[in-house]
Amino acid sequence: MRQDTLKKLAREHGTPLFVVDHDVLRRNYAEFKKHLPRVQAYYAVKANPDPAIVRTLYRMGASFDVASMPEFLIVHKNIEHLPHTERQDWIWDKIIYANPIKATETLEQLDQYKPLVTYDNLEEVRKVRRHAPHAGLALRLKVPNTGAMVELSSKFGAPPGEAVDLIEAAFRAGLVVEGISFHVGSQCTNFENYVQALNLASNVFKEAWSRGFEQVKILDIGGGFPAPYDANVKPFRELARRLNSEFNRLFPKKMEILAEPGRFMVATAATLVAKVIGKKVADGKPSYYINDGVYHTFSGIIFDHCQYHLKAFKQGPKQICSVFGPTCDALDTISLAEELPDLRLGDLVYSENIGAYSHASSTYFNGFPPAKVIHVNQ
């Protein structure tokens, strides 16, 4: 986003300011569909659950991946409030509840919608049978997460050797297993994870079909599609090329394939603008305090293992400095080695590509509210 636009918005609305550009959202969705034409995109709402983002992606043709009942209701309420002409194609089998472990109260609420839900253990089969018998199931496999920024397989996923037995157990319980899912880890820059996971999934499908479970025909390749945070991230088209090759080699053309992109869709679509509220020299280098931090938009530093860099609107020689958030906690450290020009109180800074797993985790710690959200190009 242009610097003059960001400064204008900051003058008008104050700081900290979280600016979401819907043109970028649409562009990211279009890129995903262009390079993966066989795959239906189920936007991972947890990446950024802002209702306006949900509406824009729905209008582009997205489905949705939710992992809690509040996320489910965000999608439900916002689609229901659209004009009838915009929601006439909405069908509830285009949503997936992709949290393998669900509270019984959640299952009871979900049952009326006949959703597709994931599972990875026998106890979950029993829970679904008792509390959401109208749900369809997708078995989540444990797959390699090597090289992903956020590893997930230590928490979720059934070992491939147990997969078909769990599929059979669900059918014996009177449920229907519609597909197989996996997740290679968030911000996965190791494309071999996908190749290995697809081969594991292919073998599970073949064994399931050989046992007579032909109903299992959905492949959910999860998320992990990396956002271009820096030049070390390979272009999405390279990953898509490998995925398409494996799809064609391993799976029949009639296979329904879906994915759960979150970060890829929204990371580059938002910019944070903050203001310098304090300045001192410590340990021989400048230290700046800004009015946003890790308890707010920069929460991804803690929860997402992601480092966001700051840029200044003013020009000048850059120097190594520290940047801290506004709260009284020393944990509220944005960077100890940022490169910025000499800044004064009241100067503005900004951080790009901060749309995913950031504002979504903001708190009111110390009484500081989250950044104000502004949407442009809706």
Domain boundaries, the chain: 3-17+268-376, 22-267
Query: Residue 31 half-sphere exposure, CB side, CA atoms within 13 Å?
Result: 19
- Say if residue 340's pLDDT is above 60: yes
Residues with catalytic annotation? 328
pLDDT score of 231: 86
Strands 39-44 and 63-66: parallel
The pair phi, psi for residue 105, each rounded to 5°, is: -65, -40
Q: Which residue has the tokens 């989250």?
A: 370
The residue among 378 and 145 whose pLDDT is bigger is: 378
- Say if residue 106's pLDDT is above 80: yes
- Which tokens is 6 given? 């960001």
Handedness of CA 28, 264, 312, 7 (dihedral sign): positive
Confidence of residue 95 (pLDDT cuts 50, 70, 90): confident
Q: What is the CATH number of domain 3-17+268-376?
A: 2.40.37.10
Confidence of residue 94 (pLDDT cuts 50, 70, 90): confident
Q: What is the CATH number of domain 22-267?
A: 3.20.20.10
Reported as a single tens digit per residue, the pLDDT across 30-65 is 999 999 999 999 999 999 999 999 999 999 999 999
Confidence of residue 88 (pLDDT cuts 50, 70, 90): very low
Confidence of residue 146 (pLDDT cuts 50, 70, 90): confident
pLDDT score of 144: 74
Confidence of residue 151 (pLDDT cuts 50, 70, 90): low
